[in-house]
């Protein structure tokens, strides 16, 4: 396993965004470690996400259940599926624990659904770890700029 560099982390993050925009959820799930967490907090400055209210706090089982609902066509928030385009930029390597490469970046998501287009913006933290396949996702925290406000119809993965 090779060490993770900022360019390889950026490539991984762009891949993750593309997989979500193309609704390739099986490939997206395969990016994660078994112990990884996908988090969308409601508090911008939260330090212990497990101790506060979150829009999403998914472990592997919950990520798989969320994907199953998205693909079932039975969820009102996912039927019809929103069309999204993500732009990820402003990458910055942060201090992480040994063996973990942490990247902070900005993400803009343009969503089209029900003849309506809207834009969401977020700061995103990725905890990446080396894996036999290259890089795996240990944690993703999507802090929406309006995450402490009413959020309507976010039935897709950010």
Quick check: helix, strand or coil at residue 135? Answer: strand
| Domain ranges, ordered by start, for the chain | 6-144
pLDDT surpasses 80 at 122? yes
Topology of domain 6-144, CATH: Nuclear Transport Factor 2; Chain: A, (3.10.450)
Cβ–Cβ under 8 Å, residues 40 and 127:
no
Query: pTM of the full predicted structure?
Result: 0.91
CA-based nearest residue to 72, from 115, 20, 25: 25
For residue 35, the model assigns a pLDDT of 97
Q: Tell me the average pLDDT of the chain.
A: 89
Of the ranges 1-10, 29-38, 122-131, which one carries the lowest mean pLDDT score?
Answer: 1-10
pLDDT digits over 59-102, tens only?
999 999 989 888 876 655 556 778 999 999 999 999 888 889 99
For residue 81, the model assigns a pLDDT of 78
CA-based nearest residue to 27, from 141, 151, 137: 137
pLDDT digits over 8-19, tens only?
999 999 999 999
For residue 100, the model assigns a pLDDT of 95
């Amino acid at each position: 396993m090779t060490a993770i560099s900022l360019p390889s982390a950026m490539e991984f993050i762009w891949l993750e965004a593309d997989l979500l925009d193309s609704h390739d959820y099986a490939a997206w799930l395969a990016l994660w470690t078994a112990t990884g967490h996908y988090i969308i907090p409601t508090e911008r400055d939260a330090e212990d996400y497990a101790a506060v209210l979150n829009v999403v706090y998914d472990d592997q089982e919950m990520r798989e259940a969320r994907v199953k609902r998205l693909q079932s066509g039975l969820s009102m928030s996912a039927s019809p599926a929103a069309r999204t385009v993500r732009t990820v930029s402003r990458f910055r390597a942060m201090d992480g624990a040994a063996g973990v490469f942490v990247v902070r970046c900005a993400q803009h998501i343009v969503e089209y659904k029900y003849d309506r287009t809207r834009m969401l913006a977020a700061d995103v933290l990725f905890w990446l770890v080396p894996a036999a396949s290259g890089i795996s996702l240990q944690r993703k925290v999507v802090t929406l700029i309006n995450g402490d406000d009413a959020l309507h119809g976010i039935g897709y993965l950010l």
